[in-house]
C-alpha cells in the first residue's frame, strides 16, 4: 500500500493534519487520510484512537475556514490487529479552504499534487475565490425568521445527542449576519416545503391513482415519512419453484433507502424545487433537482467521490445516523442496481429502479443480487430461528428474547421501531442490543442502513 493522489498516511496525529485536510478539500476528488499507518504502508496503530478522534474533530472545526463541518468523516478501523483512524474528506464547494491562522494566502492554502499537499499559488487562490459558490442554502436568508426547532431537537435526543442554546450557530443554520438561513428554514418545525409521492396504475403518468403530499415541517421528519410510505409500496412478491417458496420485495430495501436519502440530502433547494418520488407498475423513479456537482465526472460519481451539495444537511443527517459515511450511498446502490439506473441532465438526477420481475426479465439486475438481501432475508438472515428456539435460550433475558422475536419478523427493523413496539426508550433498546451482540447471537450488517443477522442456530 502506497500513498496516492487520494490517499495520505500518517504514523501518528501530528501538527500537519490540517494542511493535508485542506489540500483534499481543495482537490476536486477529495481524499482519505489514515492515522496510524506510516509512509511505507506499515501499520503502527494508535494507543488512544477515541481520544485522537475527538482531537481531530476539534482541530478541524476550529482551524479550517470556510467551515469543513459536514465535509469530513472519521471512521475507526482495525488493521493488523491495531486501531487506526480513517478520515474521509470530501471535495469542498467553497474553495479555497485555508488555515484560519494564515487566511487565503500561499501560507494558508494547499492543494493535492500527486501524493503531497503543496502550497497553492496566489493566482489559483484568486481564481477559486472568484468562482466560490455563493448561491448555497447556507448563504440564502430564510424568508421568515420566526422559526422553531422542537422536532429537530427531539430527533437529536433520540440519537443520544442534545442541542444547546447555540445549536443554530453550531449546525450552521445562520447566515454571516446571524439570521436563519435556508438550511435552517428546511429543518424548522414549519415551512412551505412540499414533497410529492405519486402512484400510477401503469407505466406512464397518464393514470394517477394516488398522490401523497409530505413536508411543511422539519426535513428530517419528511424524509422519514417518505421512507415509510415507499416501504409500504415495496411489497413482497412470492414465487413458487420446484424446490421452495421464494419471497422478495419489488425493490432492494437497502438501495431504495439510500436513494431516498440521497435525493433529500443532495437536492438543489436554491431553486425551490424539491425531490419527487413516483411509483409505477414496473418501476420507481426518484428525481432530485441539480445535476452532477461542478467538477465531478460521472465516473467519479459512481466511484463514490463525495462533493456534498448541502453540507449542513449532510452533517445533520450523519448526526442522526440517516447517512452512514461520506461517499457510501452510491456504491451501496450499485451493489444491487447497474449504472443504467441513473440518468443525468444539466438540472436533474433521476434514479430508476425496475421492479424485481421486470428487472430480471430485462437482465438489469441479477436474481441472486436481490435475493441475497430481500428474497432470502426471512430464512437466510434470521437463520430460520423460531420463537420456540429463542424462548429456549437460557442466556437471554425476557426483554432480549422480545427484541430478537421482533428482528425475526423484520431484519431491517430500526431502534426506534423496536422501542415503539416494546414501549421502551431508544437508549434501553441500545443496551439490550449490545447485550445480545455480546452474547454472540446477533450481528449487524451494513451499518445504519443495513440489517440484522441472528446466529443463534450457529452456536
Whether residue 42 lies inside any domain: the answer is yes
Angle at 33 between CA 89 and CA 86, to 5 degrees: 90
Domain boundary pick from 371, 406, 439 = 371
Q: Are residues 381 and 439 in the same domain?
A: yes
Tell me the pLDDT tens digit for each residue of 369-405: 333 333 333 333 444 577 788 888 888 998 999 998 8
pLDDT for 416 equals 80
Give the C-alpha separation, 455 to 441, whole Å: 5
pLDDT for 347 equals 85
Place of cell 427484541: 403
The domain tally of the chain equals 3
Band the pLDDT of 448: cuts 50, 70, 90: low
Q: Are residues 347 and 267 in the same domain?
A: yes
Domain boundary pick from 371, 405, 424 = 371
Give the C-alpha separation, 36 to 83, whole Å: 7
Mean of the pLDDT values across residues 264-291? 92
Q: What is the CATH number of the domain that holds 363?
A: 3.30.565.60
Q: All 3 cell numbers of residue 332? A: 451501496
Q: What is the CATH number of the domain that holds 447?
A: 1.10.10.10
Whether residue 141 lies inside any domain: the answer is no
Whether residue 163 lies inside any domain: the answer is no
Place of cell 391513482: 209
Residue 240's alpha-carbon distances to 120, 237, 244, 384, in angstroms, are 63, 10, 6, 19
Tell me the pLDDT tens digit for each residue of 220-235: 999 999 999 999 998 7
Q: Average model confidence (pLDDT) for the chain?
A: 85
Residue-wise DSSP of 372-419: TTTTTIIIIISTT--HHHHHT-TTS-HHHHHHHHHHHH-TT--HHHHH
Q: Are residues 270 and 246 in the same domain?
A: yes
Band the pLDDT of 457: cuts 50, 70, 90: low
More confident residue, 408 or 365: 408
pLDDT for 24 equals 95
- Other C-beta atoms within 10 Å of 198: how many? 17
Q: List the domain range (segments joined by +) for residue 95.
A: 7-131
Q: Are residues 362 and 402 in the same domain?
A: no
pLDDT for 365 equals 36
Q: What is the CATH number of the domain that holds 93?
A: 3.30.950.30
CA atoms within 13 A of residue 213's CA, in its CB half-sphere = 5
- Other C-beta atoms within 10 Å of 194: how many? 11
Q: Are residues 124 and 206 in the same domain?
A: no
Looking at residue 434, what DSSP letter applies? Answer: H
- Other C-beta atoms within 10 Å of 127: how many? 12
Band the pLDDT of 292: cuts 50, 70, 90: confident
With 90 as the cut, is the pLDDT of residue 278 above it?
yes
pLDDT for 265 equals 92
Band the pLDDT of 361: cuts 50, 70, 90: very low
In DSSP terms, which residues pair with 351 in a beta bridge? 286, 342
Q: Are strands 236-240 and 116-119 parallel, antiparallel or unpaired?
A: unpaired
Domain boundary pick from 131, 153, 178 = 131
Angle at 72 between CA 35 and CA 172, to 5 degrees: 140
Give the C-alpha separation, 88 to 30, whole Å: 8
Q: Are residues 360 and 405 in the same domain?
A: no
Q: Are residues 363 and 402 in the same domain?
A: no
Tell me the pLDDT tens digit for each residue of 395-413: 899 899 999 888 887 787 8
Amino acid at each position: 500500500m502506497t500513498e496516492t493522489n487520494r490517499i495520505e498516511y500518517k504514523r501518528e496525529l501530528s501538527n500537519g493534519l490540517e494542511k493535508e485536510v485542506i489540500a483534499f478539500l481543495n482537490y476536486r476528488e477529495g481524499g482519505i487520510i489514515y492515522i496510524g499507518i506510516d509512509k511505507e504502508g506499515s501499520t503502527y496503530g494508535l494507543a488512544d484512537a477515541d481520544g485522537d478522534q475527538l482531537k481531530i474533530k476539534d482541530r478541524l472545526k476550529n482551524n479550517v475556514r470556510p467551515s469543513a463541518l459536514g465535509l469530513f468523516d472519521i471512521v475507526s478501523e482495525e488493521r493488523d490487529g491495531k486501531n487506526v483512524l480513517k478520515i474521509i474528506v470530501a471535495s469542498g464547494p467553497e474553495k479555497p479552504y485555508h488555515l484560519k491562522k494564515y487566511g487565503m494566502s500561499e501560507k494558508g492554502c494547499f492543494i493535492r499534487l500527486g501524493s503531497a499537499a503543496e502550497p497553492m499559488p496566489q493566482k489559483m487562490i484568486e481564481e477559486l475565490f472568484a468562482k466560490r459558490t455563493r448561491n448555497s442554502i447556507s448563504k440564502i436568508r430564510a424568508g421568515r425568521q420566526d422559526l422553531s426547532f422542537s422536532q429537530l431537537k427531539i430527533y437529536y435526543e433520540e440519537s443520544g445527542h442534545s442541542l444547546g442554546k447555540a445549536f443554530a450557530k453550531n449546525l450552521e443554520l445562520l447566515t454571516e449576519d446571524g439570521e436563519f438561513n435556508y438550511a435552517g428554514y428546511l429543518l424548522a418545525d414549519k415551512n412551505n416545503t412540499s414533497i410529492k409521492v405519486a402512484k400510477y396504475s401503469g407505466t406512464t403518468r397518464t393514470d394517477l391513482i394516488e398522490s401523497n403530499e409530505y413536508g411543511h415541517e422539519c426535513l428530517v421528519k419528511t424524509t422519514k415519512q417518505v421512507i415509510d410510505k415507499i416501504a409500504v409500496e415495496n411489497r413482497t412478491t412470492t414465487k413458487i419453484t420446484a424446490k421452495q417458496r421464494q419471497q422478495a420485495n419489488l425493490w432492494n430495501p437497502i438501495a431504495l433507502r439510500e436513494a431516498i436519502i440521497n435525493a433529500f440530502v443532495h437536492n438543489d433547494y436554491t431553486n425551490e424545487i424539491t425531490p419527487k418520488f413516483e411509483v409505477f407498475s414496473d418501476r420507481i423513479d426518484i428525481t432530485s433537482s441539480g445535476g452532477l456537482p461542478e467538477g465531478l465526472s460521472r465516473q467519479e460519481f459512481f466511484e463514490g467521490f463525495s462533493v456534498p451539495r448541502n453540507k449542513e444537511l449532510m452533517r445533520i443527517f450523519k448526526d442522526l445516523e440517516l447517512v452512514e459515511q461520506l461517499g457510501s450511498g452510491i456504491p451501496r446502490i450499485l451493489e444491487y442496481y447497474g449504472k443504467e439506473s441513473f440518468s443525468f441532465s444539466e438540472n436533474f438526477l433521476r434514479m430508476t429502479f425496475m421492479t424485481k420481475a421486470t428487472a430480471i426479465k430485462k437482465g438489469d439486475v441479477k436474481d441472486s443480487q436481490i435475493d441475497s438481501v430481500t428474497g432470502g432475508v426471512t430464512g437466510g438472515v434470521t437463520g430460520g430461528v423460531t420463537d420456540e428456539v429463542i424462548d429456549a435460550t437460557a442466556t437471554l433475558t425476557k426483554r432480549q428474547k422480545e427484541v430478537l422475536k421482533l428482528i425475526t419478523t423484520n431484519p431491517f427493523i430500526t431502534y426506534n421501531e423496536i422501542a415503539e413496539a416494546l414501549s421502551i426508550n431508544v437508549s434501553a433498546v441500545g443496551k439490550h442490543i449490545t447485550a445480545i451482540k455480546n452474547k454472540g447471537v446477533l450481528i449487524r450488517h451494513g451499518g445504519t442502513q443495513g440489517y440484522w443477522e441472528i446466529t443463534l442456530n450457529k452456536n
